[in-house]
């Protein structure tokens, strides 16, 4: 498999879980019911709870005071990134995210700006429809639209975080060097430097 | 007659006429040959060399676009050698092509993009020193020389199809760019439509939307009687979910057909209404119940015309539309001699012609498609074009071989001179009374047309095979129009001439065949798109809002005598004419139910609206609606006689000619945001001197009983004492049916 197609970039330490076979005949089902009714399986569970309670070793995460770390490829509310060098938005208004969106929730308007460049004048993602599939981030040629880590979507209005200006990295965050690249689908994959060929342009 | 040829393409035997190119035949028969520079409507540029094919027994590759097929040839359109050849061509096209597909408007419908993918060019391996070039903006047109691939399609449409010769190539090898003689550019946008890449772009549409987001609605242009095929490209407006949509641009089948500036840029004239205004509707119905006259213009569909006629049949309204009535009378007089209900020519006849006479029409302004057809005739068939008109049109100087200026009002005499020159001896014998009375010296003196000019015109006819005469709107409203019509018919009958009688407004031909029109208004008038006591209007300033022609379904009858379908690009929330008809007891659920009820006695066919087609075949044949039947009409001997030429009314002093700007046609184009020509009075130095006014001055004069103020502009190209007066902003001008020349007293504003 070539480097471009190998998308498995995580830790691959998976193992199989040992699961008992499902009963196949009626007789097997009957045997399973009898076995579960008259064995002490129930008390095994109760014992584990009691034991852990006495040990004061509780694993429950106390959300919202405590939050679990997110996986690097977690796909929550989108973000629009800025260019590292100039701080202007990366989005060029190509419209590929709008086209590829399978739940048809991205809408954008573009126009010509005063420098005769294409500019996004309006942009919104309808998060009532978004299924967070990540296609938009994957298709974006500029690494402009990415998924962020915001999974708490409670707000008075969804519109509070679905417009272009809300998605764009705030300037102070950007200046503080806090803008993060997205490592998920669409990001630069390991080893891509070697596979990039220079465009022959003799300027 | 060209003879039939048989040859084979990829092993399949095909037939064609001799002289047809291999590419044309292959495409018509469904074979695919890629091209970058080929345009079916113009002569081949042969600049891309993509269309190469292999011919058995011939060394090397043959350009299929400019090689005529020969009997028995065996042609291969696909092989490894051809693939390699085409791949190499694409590599060259891609040299230094900017990698800006992400923002380019053409992305998604770009020939360069498509063929680069088709020939599997994943990477570019060579480049050249980039040149410094300048991006240009020419009005509605923007040119980006970095994107230009020098296929020369734009220059060939500008020269051959439009005939304005504005675009040209500044040669210089890799430095070559396209440039524009801007003064000659008529802002038609044909170059934009044919550009295979994003080099020629619409200034207004630039970066507004991606091509793939737009929904195409095939329809017909509503601005003149050519009713050209076009596609409205529609998308939701803004990012909110209100559901409102707008037309982003207009495109057409640019390989085979053309659009003028009005069609391409004058699309946003829709009448936006939020809700059905019940109160206005009820009072409009009330007004109809009390009215005895319906006044309207010809910017309506055939179906609406039929609704009006049904209302007349039921409630006895008088239908008043002077402009269509003039046309109707003209056609009736014409039929009384020719014995046919319709004229014989069409736009294709003009394109195929080698000898064209136009009489009484400012063709580049009245009907741009005639101008385009003339350009094709001149450039492809080397046609001789004679332009008979009181005002010389310098926008046509590339096309017109002979310009014959006649005095205002002398159209009848001029037609008689043409008839005398071209009619056969039998016809002259038949109309002996007329021809014996004809005093050529007198006519020549009155019309100021030298007999030598006509002789010269006739001498050019030698060896010409397919002459066409085009009759324009000036003649329809002439006091002796009926006599002129008879002369036109006699000319058609007694010579090789085909006749095109330009319908004066979009659907004048349809209206004149569907409606029985009255001449006198009654006491209580309801106007439809014409101002009256109660006005139904699609412009948004009447008493009840009506859908504009881009919001309606229906049909037009075009200059080609074709009934073409029209689809709604945008919804209309308000009422339409059919709702009023239902309230008045003329019931049919939908307006388009009337399509199949159009009068078959007049040549319409009983065809449902939904079965009307609107597309082009691979061979370029337009499958649009259906052609009207040209009915035989019994002629009466008494009606046939042409009466003698009447004496002329004097047109001395300041005379103004009602004619609009090249893309500015009517109150609807005036509403659109890209067509910005202002209404004015344009005259020569001579006119200014006679009227004692200066260029740039505001002047006032009486026109059709109303005082009008206009800015007077001097035009150094114009000659003579007739000024051009634009009337597109006047509500009733198109339906007034008055003779287009008016004597006026011009005063400076403020005196």
HEC sequence for B391-405:
CCCHHHCCCCCEEEC
Q: Give the DSSP per-residue string, A30-77.
A: HHHHHHHHHSSHHHHHHHHHHHHHHHT------TTTS-PPPPTT---S
Buried b (16+ CB within 10 A) or exposed e, B438-475: beeeebbebbbbeeebbeebeebbeebebbbbbbbbbb
Contacts of A199 (CB under 8 A, 6+ apart): B99, B124, B127
Give A163's DSSP letter: B
> Which pLDDT value is given to residue B604?
96
Min Cα separation B96/chain A (Å): 6
Given phi > 0 = left and psi -120 to 50 = alpha, else beta, which region is A90?
alpha
Least confident of A43-57, B379-393, B458-472: A43-57
Least confident of B83-87, B561-565, B701-705: B701-705
Architecture of domain A78-187: 2-Layer Sandwich (3.30)
Record: contact A200-B135, CB cut-off 8 A? no
Q: Is the dihedral of CA B528, B530, B534, B538 positive or negative?
A: positive
Average pLDDT value over all residues in chain B: 92
> Which pLDDT value is given to residue B584?
94
Judge whether A129 is closer than 8 Å to chain B, CB to CB: no
Record: contact A201-B212, CB cut-off 8 A? no
Contact A80, A150 (CB under 8 A): no
Record: contact B127-A201, CB cut-off 8 A? yes
CATH match of B326-501 with 3.40.228.10: yes
DSSP element (H, E) containing B24: helix B22-28
Distance CA B236, CA B243 (A): 6
Sheet strand arrangement including B554-557: B554-557, B562-566, B626-627
> Which pLDDT value is given to residue A152?
87
Is it true that the peptide bond before A64 is cis, omega within 30 degrees of 0? Answer: yes
Half-sphere exposure of A196 (CA within 13 A, CB side): 8
- Residue of A98, A101, A110 to mutate, interface with B, max B Cβ within 10 Å: A110
Contacts of B126 in chain A (CB under 8 A): 200
Q: How far is CA B457 from the centre of its chain?
A: 26
pLDDT of B175-205, one tens digit each? 899 999 998 999 999 999 999 999 999 999 9
Record: contact B102-A200, CB cut-off 8 A? no
Contacts of A197 in chain B (CB under 8 A): 123
Using DSSP's 3-state secondary structure scheme, residue B177 falls into: strand
Distance CA B263, CA B269 (A): 11
Using DSSP's 3-state secondary structure scheme, residue B655 falls into: strand
Angle at B374 between CA B49 and CA B474, to 5 degrees: 160
> Which pLDDT value is given to residue B556?
96
Residue B580 has pLDDT above 60, yes or no: yes
Question: Domain spans of chain B?
Answer: 4-93, 126-265, 326-501, 654-748
Residue A3 has pLDDT above 60, yes or no: no
Angle at A119 between CA A114 and CA A125, to 5 degrees: 150
> Which pLDDT value is given to residue B128?
86
Architecture of domain B4-93: Roll (3.10)
Contact B187, B675 (CB under 8 A): no
Distance CA B441, CA B451 (A): 8
Judge whether A197 is closer than 8 Å to chain B, CB to CB: yes
pLDDT of B727-744, one tens digit each? 888 877 666 788 999 998
pLDDT of A183-192, one tens digit each? 888 888 788 8
ipTM passes above 0.85: no
Sheet strand arrangement including B215-220: B215-220, B229-236, B245-251
Angle at A25 between CA A22 and CA A29, to 5 degrees: 60
Angle at B39 between CA B79 and CA B196, to 5 degrees: 85
Architecture of domain B126-265: 2-Layer Sandwich (3.30)
* Average pLDDT, integer, range A89-114: 93
Judge whether A111 is closer than 8 Å to chain B, CB to CB: yes
Record: contact A110-B213, CB cut-off 8 A? no
Calculate the alpha carbon distances from A196 to A90, A96, A188 in Å.
Answer: 20, 22, 11
Distance CA B177, CA B383 (A): 31
pLDDT band at A1 (very low <50, low <70, confident <90, very high): very low
Average pLDDT value over all residues in chain A: 86
Give B356's DSSP letter: E
pLDDT band at B148 (very low <50, low <70, confident <90, very high): very high
pLDDT band at B653 (very low <50, low <70, confident <90, very high): confident
Record: contact A200-B127, CB cut-off 8 A? yes
**More confident site: B626 or A20:** B626
Record: contact B127-A202, CB cut-off 8 A? yes
Q: Give the DSSP per-residue string, B668-688.
A: HHHHSSS--PPP-EEE-HHHH
Buried b (16+ CB within 10 A) or exposed e, B366-403: bbbbbbbbbbbbbbbbebbbbbbbbbbbbbbebbbeeb
Distance CA B428, CA B494 (A): 9
Out of B96, B102, B239, the one facing A201 most closely (by C-beta) is B96
Record: contact A201-B103, CB cut-off 8 A? no
Query: What CATH number was assigned to the domain covering residues B654-748?
Result: 2.40.40.20
Calculate the alpha carbon distances from A92 to A115, A142, B100, B143, B240 in Å.
Answer: 13, 8, 10, 21, 21
Distance CA B293, CA B691 (A): 40
Q: Which residues of B sit within 8 Å Cβ distance of A? A: 96, 99, 101-103, 107, 123-130, 135, 206-210, 212-213, 236, 238-239, 241
* Nearest residue in chain B measured CA to CA from A202: B129
Record: contact B102-A142, CB cut-off 8 A? yes
> Which pLDDT value is given to residue B751?
54
Give A89's DSSP letter: B
* Average pLDDT, integer, range B233-256: 89
If we measure between CA atoms, which residue out of A98, A106, A187 comes closest to residue A144?
A187
Q: Give the DSSP per-residue string, B384-446.
A: EEEEE-SS--GGGTTT-SEEE---TT-HHHHHHHHHHHHS-HHHHHHTHHHHHH--HHHHHHH
Out of B129, B209, B212, the one facing A202 most closely (by C-beta) is B129
DSSP element (H, E) containing A28: helix A26-38
> Which pLDDT value is given to residue A145?
95
Record: contact A107-B126, CB cut-off 8 A? no
Min Cα separation A196/chain B (Å): 11
List, in sequence order, the alpha helices (H) in A107-169: 135-139, 164-167
Out of B99, B103, B239, the one facing A109 most closely (by C-beta) is B239
Record: contact B213-A95, CB cut-off 8 A? yes
Q: Is the dihedral of CA B582, B587, B592, B596 positive or negative?
A: negative
Half-sphere exposure of A1 (CA within 13 A, CB side): 6
* Nearest residue in chain B measured CA to CA from A97: B102
> Which pLDDT value is given to residue A187?
84
Min Cα separation A197/chain B (Å): 9
Give B749's DSSP letter: T
Out of B129, B208, B239, the one facing A122 most closely (by C-beta) is B239
Min Cα separation B271/chain A (Å): 23
Percent of chain A scoring above 70 in pLDDT: 92
List, in sequence order, the alpha helices (H) in B632-748: 637-640, 667-671, 685-691, 733-736
> Which pLDDT value is given to residue A49?
87
Out of A92, A109, A126, the one facing B103 most closely (by C-beta) is A92
pLDDT band at B641 (very low <50, low <70, confident <90, very high): confident
Judge whether A120 is closer than 8 Å to chain B, CB to CB: no
> Which pLDDT value is given to residue A5?
56
Distance CA B673, CA B658 (A): 23
Distance CA B709, CA B679 (A): 10
If we measure between CA atoms, which residue out of B485, B472, B147 comes closest to residue B335?
B485
Record: contact B96-A108, CB cut-off 8 A? no
pLDDT of B302-339, one tens digit each? 999 999 999 999 999 999 999 999 999 999 999 999 99
**More confident site: B163 or A156:** B163
Buried b (16+ CB within 10 A) or exposed e, B406-435: bbbbbbbbbbbbbbbbbbeeebbebbeebb
> Which pLDDT value is given to residue B7?
95
Judge whether A107 is closer than 8 Å to chain B, CB to CB: yes
Record: contact A109-B238, CB cut-off 8 A? yes
Distance CA A145, CA B632 (A): 69
pLDDT band at A43 (very low <50, low <70, confident <90, very high): confident
Contacts of B208 in chain A (CB under 8 A): 110-112
pLDDT of B494-551, one tens digit each? 999 999 999 999 999 999 999 999 998 889 999 999 888 899 999 988 899 999 999 9
Question: Domain spans of chain A?
Answer: 26-55, 78-187
* Nearest residue in chain B measured CA to CA from A124: B239
Centre a 10 Å sphere on the Cβ of residue B751 and count the other Cβ atoms it contains. Answer: 6
* Average pLDDT, integer, range A158-182: 88
> Which pLDDT value is given to residue A80?
94
* Average pLDDT, integer, range B116-136: 88
Contacts of A98 in chain B (CB under 8 A): 210, 213
Record: contact A111-B207, CB cut-off 8 A? yes
Residue B674 has pLDDT above 90, yes or no: yes
Distance CA B150, CA B177 (A): 7
Residue B207 has pLDDT above 50, yes or no: yes
> Which pLDDT value is given to residue B42?
93
Judge whether A117 is closer than 8 Å to chain B, CB to CB: yes
List, in sequence order, the alpha helices (H) in B58-213: 80-93, 111-118, 153-156, 190-194
If we measure between CA atoms, which residue out of B550, B580, B7, B697 comes closest to residue B245?
B550
């Amino acid at each position: 498999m070539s480097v471009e197609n190998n998308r498995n970039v995580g830790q691959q330490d998976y193992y199989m879980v040992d699961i008992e076979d499902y009963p196949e005949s009626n007789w097997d089902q009957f045997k399973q019911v009898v076995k579960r009714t008259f064995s002490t399986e129930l008390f095994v569970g109760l014992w584990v709870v009691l034991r852990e309670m006495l040990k004061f070793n509780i694993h429950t995460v106390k959300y919202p005071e405590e939050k679990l770390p997110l996986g690097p490829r977690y796909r929550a509310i989108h973000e629009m990134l800025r260019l590292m060098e100039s701080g202007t938005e990366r989005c060029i208004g190509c419209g590929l995210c709008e086209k590829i969106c399978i739940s048809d929730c991205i809408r954008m308007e573009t126009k010509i700006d005063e420098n005769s460049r294409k500019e996004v004048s309006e942009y919104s993602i309808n998060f009532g429809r978004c299924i967070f599939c990540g296609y938009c981030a994957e298709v974006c040629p500029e690494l402009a639209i990415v998924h962020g880590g915001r999974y708490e979507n409670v707000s008075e209005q969804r519109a509070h975080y679905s417009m272009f200006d809300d998605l764009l990295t705030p300037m102070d965050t950007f200046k503080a060097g806090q803008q993060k690249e997205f490592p998920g689908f669409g990001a630069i994959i390991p080893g891509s430097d070697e596979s990039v060929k220079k465009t022959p342009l003799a300027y | 007659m060209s003879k039939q040829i048989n040859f084979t393409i990829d092993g399949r035997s095909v037939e064609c006429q001799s002289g047809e190119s291999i590419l044309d035949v292959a495409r018509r028969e469904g074979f695919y040959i890629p091209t970058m520079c080929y345009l079916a409507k113009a002569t081949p540029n042969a600049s891309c060399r993509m269309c190469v094919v292999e011919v058995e027994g011939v060394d090397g590759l043959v350009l299929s676009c400019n090689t005529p097929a020969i009997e028995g040839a065996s042609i291969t359109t696909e092989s490894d050698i051809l693939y390699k050849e085409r791949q190499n061509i694409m590599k060259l096209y891609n040299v230094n092509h900017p990698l800006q597909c992400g923002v380019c408007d053409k992305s998604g419908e770009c020939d360069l993009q498509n063929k680069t993918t088709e020939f599997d060019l994943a990477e570019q391996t060579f480049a050249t020193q980039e040149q410094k070039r300048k991006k240009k903006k020419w009005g509605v047109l923007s040119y980006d020389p970095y994107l230009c691939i020098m296929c020369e399609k734009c220059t060939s449409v500008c020269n051959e199809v439009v005939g304005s010769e504005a675009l040209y190539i500044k040669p210089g090898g890799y430095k070559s760019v396209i440039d524009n003689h801007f003064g000659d550019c008529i802002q038609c946008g044909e170059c934009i439509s044919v550009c295979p890449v994003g080099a020629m772009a619409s200034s207004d549409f630039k970066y507004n939307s991606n091509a793939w987001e737009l929904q195409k609605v095939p329809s017909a242009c509503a601005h003149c009687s050519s009713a050209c095929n076009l596609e409205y490209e529609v998308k939701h407006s803004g990012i909110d979910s209100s559901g409102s949509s707008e037309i982003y641009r207009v495109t057409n089948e640019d390989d085979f057909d053309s659009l003028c500036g009005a069609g391409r840029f004058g699309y946003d004239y829709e009448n936006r209404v939020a809700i059905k205004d019940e109160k206005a509707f009820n009072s409009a119905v009330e007004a109809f119940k009390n009215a005895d006259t319906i006044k309207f213009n010809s910017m309506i569909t055939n179906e609406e015309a039929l609704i009006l006629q049904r209302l007349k049949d039921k409630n006895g309204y008088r239908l008043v539309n002077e402009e269509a009535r003039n046309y109707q009378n003209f056609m009736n007089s014409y039929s009384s001699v020719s014995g046919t209900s319709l004229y014989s020519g069409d736009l294709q006849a003009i394109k195929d012609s080698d000898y064209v006479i136009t009489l009484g029409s400012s063709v580049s302004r009245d009907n741009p498609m005639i101008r385009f057809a003339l350009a094709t005739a001149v450039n492809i068939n080397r046609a001789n074009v004679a332009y008979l008109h009181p005002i010389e049109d310098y926008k046509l100087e590339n096309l017109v071989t002979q310009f014959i200026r006649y005095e205002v009002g002398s159209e009848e005499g001029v037609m008689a001179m043409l008839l005398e020159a071209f009619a056969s001896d039998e016809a002259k014998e038949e109309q002996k009374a007329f021809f014996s009375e004809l005093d050529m010296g007198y006519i020549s003196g009155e019309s100021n047309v030298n007999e030598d000019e006509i002789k010269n015109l006739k001498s050019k006819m030698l060896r010409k095979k397919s002459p066409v005469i085009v009759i324009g709107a000036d003649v329809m409203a002439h006091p002796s129009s009926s006599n002129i019509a008879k002369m036109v018919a006699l000319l058609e009958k007694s010579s090789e001439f085909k006749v095109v009688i330009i319908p004066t407004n979009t659907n004048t031909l349809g209206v004149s065949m569907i409606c029985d029109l009255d001449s006198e208004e009654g006491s209580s008038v309801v106007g439809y798109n014409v101002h009256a006591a109660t006005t139904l209007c699609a412009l948004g300033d009447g008493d009840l809002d009506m859908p504009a022609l881009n919001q309606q379904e229906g049909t037009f009858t075009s200059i080609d005598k074709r009934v073409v379908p029209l689809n709604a690009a945008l919804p209309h929330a308000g009422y339409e004419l059919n709702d009023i008809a239902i309230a008045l007891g003329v019931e049919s659920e939908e307006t388009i139910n009337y399509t199949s009820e159009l009068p078959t006695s007049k040549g319409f066919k009983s065809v449902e609206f939904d079965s009307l087609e609107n597309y082009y075949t691979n061979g370029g044949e337009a499958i649009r609606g259906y052609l009207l039947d040209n009915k035989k009409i019994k002629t009466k001997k008494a009606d046939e006689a042409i009466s003698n030429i009447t004496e002329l009314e004097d047109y001395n002093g300041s005379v103004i000619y009602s004619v609009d700007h090249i893309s500015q046609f009517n109150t609807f184009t005036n509403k659109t945001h890209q067509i910005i020509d202002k209404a004015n009075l344009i005259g020569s130095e001579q006119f200014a001197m006679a009227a004692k006014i200066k260029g740039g001055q505001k002047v006032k004069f009486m026109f059709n009983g109303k005082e009008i103020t206009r800015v007077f502009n001097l035009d150094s190209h114009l000659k003579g004492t007739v000024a051009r007066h634009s009337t597109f902003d006047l509500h009733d001008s198109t339906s007034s049916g008055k003779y287009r020349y008016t004597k006026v007293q011009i005063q400076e504003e403020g005196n």
